Amino acid sequence: MSTTNTTNHIGRKISRIRELRGMKQEALAIELGVSQQTVSNIEKSAAIEDDLLAQVAEILGVTPEAIENFSEEAVFNIINNTFTSHDTSTLNAINIQPTFNPLDKLIEAHEENKKLYERLLEAEKSKVEYLEKLLKGK
């Protein structure tokens, strides 16, 4: 059983991580194979079984330790310490553009896959030729 320390309310942490991941209770319930009401009860619980915690953590894409050690303050401190905007005209409209063209990256990946496929095809052809020579040699 997980720690029942009242300051380490696992259910609230699960709820907050789920919300930050943009997941609804219904989606988590479906992944767990339980009802939405069960997920609601889990999120109200101060502690949950370790195996259930592991399942929830996997669905949320984090480790059980990440849930146990989750601190919303730490998340906001990280965001505040790493994000700076020099645009003073509109603080609410933050628009971050990538420094590369995503379509170019997609085309590059496609071309690389084609090259790898062609190399694999050539290797298979040479294997077939070799095996045919071995069969003819007998």
Segment 85-99, tens digit of pLDDT = 555 555 555 555 667
CATH of segment(s) 10-83 = 1.10.260.40
CA distance 61 to 55: 10
Calculate ∠ Cα 10-76-93, nearest 5°: 130
- Domain definitions of the chain by residue range: 10-83, 97-137
User: What is the model's pTM?
Assistant: 0.51
pLDDT (tens digit, 9 = 90+) per residue, 100-130?
778 888 899 999 999 999 999 999 999 999 9
Distance of CA 21 to the CA centre of its chain: 9
